[in-house]
């Protein structure tokens, strides 16, 4: 649990204003007419209202778990927040401090900005505020915007106009305020008072709405709803689409009246696909541009002998980025004017060496692609291992590359080169590895000793069903048995997207305890990829396809075309009652209690290699490097595949085929794994990760898949 102060940036709020305009806006304040007179009316304020301007920082107390695992109880002038499952213990907070949980934020400040925003939102739109919209207006008020301005925003919204009318008379507006805010017909004196205020323009409509929202009658009506806390999603948790970051400038190559400008894509696309790049070259008070999607860009129409300063910008749907750094190019005439100008291509930069994993008579060498491709696509990598007076090499198109034919017990020094159409790069730094008999290409000879004597019999906290699971090992095999009922909180089943009920199934899954990497690119597995220790299976693929034709496979997560009814564990239920994970098993991770400071082992794949969730070491081979969120190397395609159903019917991301693997894009390989050390395997092992983005759970294995998967 941490306490920190979060300043709200006005620029960020402005960027989100259009996104959340439909959320409305208002104030618990008012000005103009006599407050003493208003105190006699239905819209009377509880106390003297003022124009509220928030401070620039709000104290927030952060908790590691979801809000459901904590209790909040009044304690003196403050509150005590108690962790009923984890290690946060009991924490005392003040009324004005805001509580940040893993899944939501809660404020207990019913008289401060959160309470005022809630009452105004509810009053303006006659409904319970949605958590994102409420969070937006709380953030706006925290940033110093007046509550009267927020009230005016609500009145200008389409939802307000649909409720009150596009152009209501003053009498209709007063009647609507009584009906929508106080949920009753107006009393005669109150109606006459407010109508006179509006008819004579003694006050504005937004101030009148403010007084109705802040009045004691509405205050008392709303109080029971928010007495136990106000839930909202703050701006810091709302993704904002912006322009891309600036590209990184590369080499500028002169031609006859031209300049070829190389660049590297920006680290951030601003949350929206980059639609193009523009290179601008300026000299002698004249600028020339060229546009395209890939590096380099060829700028033409330049004057030979003139020095041009060139830069590149990236663009997405939100606009253009800042310009990159600059490079100077001076075009020169060609010996033969009609000769074509070919952009210069150089060899790539050197790759970055990674971990070396020993096997019997072989070694698996991991590496990272070079930062520079030399202006042409990399066609492959060559790994060289030298030891005992001999050198062995192997080639591949992605990391890792396995070198075979080595002598056990001999130390080899290995390096990697990248190649493109211009030739091979300089060698990377070196790594030393010594193959040994009986070792595997996973870096360790056996997984025995890890979860090899495990039993668990408990009651599911949501369904009250018995949950049983056991893991045992022999010298060659690991066996999972159980009834497939999860041992953690689950969602409601059946639900609108899933008609099935969780039931007991028979799980009997056997795999090897001596896994070995046998494929550099992986072998596809259609359904069951492995099991968690609680006997719930990892089964990320679905049986559904577009029009049931079996061609365009529908993804279970992060698409709106077809509802699968998954819960917060990214899981749902098959017709036979089998509960299974399609993605990150959040409540299972929470139950294991490892937090964010270490890696969490959540199961074993069908080839015997371990599966970890979300976090891995920053450096694969260094357990002291700290942990980070692992990122997959898949991305959504920028254009739809040939023959794909129209994106107007099924948006990109609906189908498995909408994603593509790009080596080196993230931390992991095509099977969402890598070789490195883990807490359970300090000597290193190939292992998989469940990630927050596609493929979520790996869709292939690097080892040999067991034919005994048990259950469905």
CA–CA distance, 324 with 279 (Å, rounded to integer): 10
Of the residues 190, 215, 237, the one at which a domain ends? 237
Secondary structure element (H or E) that encloses residue 511, with its range: strand 507-512
Kindly report the pTM of this predicted structure.
0.45
Residues 627 and 516 in one domain: yes
Residues 47 and 150 in one domain: yes
* Contact (CB, 8 A) for 56 and 6: no
Would the pLDDT of 156 be above 60?
A: yes
Residues 374 and 412 in one domain: yes
pLDDT tens profile 478-491: 999 999 999 999 99
pLDDT tens profile 242-260: 778 888 999 999 999 999 9
Residues 16 and 101 in one domain: yes
Residues 184 and 139 in one domain: yes
Burial label, 414 (beta-carbon count in 10 A; 0-12, 13-18, 19+): buried
Of the residues 402, 433, 464, the one at which a domain ends? 433
Query: Any idea which residue has 């990892």 for tokens?
Result: 538
pLDDT tens profile 205-229: 988 998 999 999 999 999 999 998 9
Query: Any idea which residue has 């529908």 for tokens?
Result: 554
* Residue 481 covered by a domain: yes
CA–CA distance, 58 with 234 (Å, rounded to integer): 11
Residues 13 and 147 in one domain: yes
Looking up residue 275, the CATH number of its domain turns out to be 2.60.40.10
CA–CA distance, 108 with 231 (Å, rounded to integer): 9
* Closest CA relative to residue 60, chosen from 110, 6, 133, 131: 6
Residues 366 and 493 in one domain: no
Domain holding 362, by residue range, is 352-433
Would the pLDDT of 22 be above 80?
A: no
* Residue 439 covered by a domain: no
CA–CA distance, 382 with 384 (Å, rounded to integer): 7
* Residue 35 covered by a domain: yes
Of the residues 433, 465, 491, the one at which a domain ends? 433
* Residue 6 covered by a domain: yes
Residues 474 and 588 in one domain: yes
DSSP H helices, 215-318, are: 216-226
* Contact (CB, 8 A) for 590 and 488: yes
* Residue 347 covered by a domain: no
pLDDT for the residue 15: 34
From start to end of 517-632, where are the E strands? 523-524, 530-531, 537-538, 571-573, 579-581, 601-605, 610-613, 615-619, 622-629
Q: Work out the percent of the chain whose per-residue pLDDT is above 70.
A: 87
pLDDT tens profile 591-615: 998 877 789 999 999 999 999 999 9
How many domains is the chain partitioned into structurally? 4
* Residue 467 covered by a domain: yes
Q: For residue 131, give the 3-state DSSP assignment.
A: helix
* Residue 474 covered by a domain: yes
Say if strands 401-404 and 601-605 run parallel, antiparallel, or are unpaired. Answer: unpaired
Residues 364 and 462 in one domain: no
Residues 139 and 272 in one domain: no
Secondary structure element (H or E) that encloses residue 175, with its range: helix 170-177
- Average pLDDT value for the chain: 84
Q: For residue 34, give the 3-state DSSP assignment.
A: coil
Residues 228 and 263 in one domain: no
Residues 216 and 280 in one domain: no
pLDDT for the residue 334: 58
């Amino acid at each position: 649990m941490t306490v920190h102060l979060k300043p709200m940036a006005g620029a960020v709020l402005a960027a989100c204003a259009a996104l959340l305009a439909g959320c409305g806006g208002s104030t618990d304040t008012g000005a103009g007419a006599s407050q003493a007179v208003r105190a006699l009316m239905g819209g009377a304020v509880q106390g003297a209202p003022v124009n509220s301007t928030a401070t620039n920082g709000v104290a927030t107390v952060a908790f590691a778990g979801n809000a459901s695992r904590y209790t909040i109880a009044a304690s003196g002038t403050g509150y005590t927040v108690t962790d009923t499952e984890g290690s946060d213990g009991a924490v005392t907070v003040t009324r004005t401090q805001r509580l940040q949980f893993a899944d939501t934020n809660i404020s207990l400040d019913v008289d401060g900005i959160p309470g005022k925003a809630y009452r105004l939102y509810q009053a303006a739109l006659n409904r319970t505020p949605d958590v994102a919209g409420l969070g937006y207006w709380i953030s706006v008020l925290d940033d110093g915007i007046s509550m009267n301005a927020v009230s005016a925003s609500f009145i200008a919204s389409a939802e307000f106009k649909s409720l009150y009318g596009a152009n209501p008379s003053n009498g209709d507006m007063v009647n609507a305020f009584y009906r929508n805010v106080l949920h009753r017909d107006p009393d005669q004196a109150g109606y006459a008072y407010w109508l006179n205020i509006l008819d004579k323009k003694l006050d504005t409509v937004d101030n009148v709405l403010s007084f109705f929202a802040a009045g004691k009658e509405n205050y008392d009506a709303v109080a029971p709803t928010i007495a136990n806390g106000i839930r909202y999603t703050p701006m810091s948790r709302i993704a904002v689409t912006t322009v891309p970051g600036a590209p990184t400038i590369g080499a500028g190559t002169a031609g006859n009246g031209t300049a070829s400008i190389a660049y590297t894509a920006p680290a951030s696309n601003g949350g929206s696909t980059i639609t193009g790049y523009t290179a601008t070259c300026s000299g002698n008070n004249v600028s020339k541009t060229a546009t395209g999607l890939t590096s380099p860009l060829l700028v033409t129409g330049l004057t030979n002998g003139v020095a041009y300063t060139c830069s590149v910008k990236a663009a997405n749907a939100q606009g253009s980025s800042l310009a990159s750094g600059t490079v100077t190019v001076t075009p020169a005439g060609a010996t033969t004017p009609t000769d074509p100008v070919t952009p210069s291509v150089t060899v790539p930069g050197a790759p970055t060496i990674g971990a070396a994993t020993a096997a019997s008579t072989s070694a698996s060498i991991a590496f990272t692609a070079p930062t520079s491709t030399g202006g042409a696509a990399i066609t492959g990598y060559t790994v060289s291992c030298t030891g005992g007076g001999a050198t062995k090499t192997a080639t591949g198109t992605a990391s890792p590359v396995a070198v075979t034919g080595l002598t056990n017990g001999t130390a080899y020094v290995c390096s990697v080169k990248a190649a493109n159409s211009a030739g091979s790069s300089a060698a990377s730094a070196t790594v030393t590895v010594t193959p040994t008999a009986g070792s595997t290409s996973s870096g360790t000879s056996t997984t025995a000793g890890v979860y090899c004597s495990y039993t668990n019999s408990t009651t599911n906290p949501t369904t009250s069903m018995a949950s049983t699971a056991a893991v045992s090992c022999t010298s060659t095999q690991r066996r999972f048995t159980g009834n497939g009922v999860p041992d953690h909180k689950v969602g409601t089943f059946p639900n609108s997207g899933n008609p099935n009920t969780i039931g007991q199934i028979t799980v009997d899954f056997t795999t090897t305890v001596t896994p070995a990497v046998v494929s550099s690119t992986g072998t596809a597995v259609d359904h069951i990829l492995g099991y968690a220790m609680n006997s719930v299976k990892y089964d990320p693929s679905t049986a559904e396809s577009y029009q049931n034709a079996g061609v365009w496979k529908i993804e279970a997560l992060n698409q709106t075309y077809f509802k699968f009814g998954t819960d917060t564990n990214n899981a749902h239920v098959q017709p036979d009652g089998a509960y299974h994970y399609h993605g990150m098993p959040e409540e299972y991770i929470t139950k294991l209690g490892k937090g964010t400071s270490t890696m969490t082992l959540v199961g074993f794949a069908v080839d015997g290699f371990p599966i970890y969730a979300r976090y891995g070491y920053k450096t694969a081979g260094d357990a002291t490097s700290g942990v980070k969120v692992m990122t997959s190397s898949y991305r959504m395609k920028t254009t739809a595949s040939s023959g794909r159903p129209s994106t107007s019917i099924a948006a990109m991301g609906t189908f498995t085929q909408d994603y593509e693997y790009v080596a080196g894009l993230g931390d992991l390989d095509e099977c969402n794994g890598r070789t490195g050390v883990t807490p359970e395997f300090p000597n290193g092992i190939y292992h998989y990760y469940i990630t927050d983005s596609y493929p979520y759970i790996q869709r292939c294995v690097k080892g040999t898949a067991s034919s005994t998967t048990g259950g469905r």
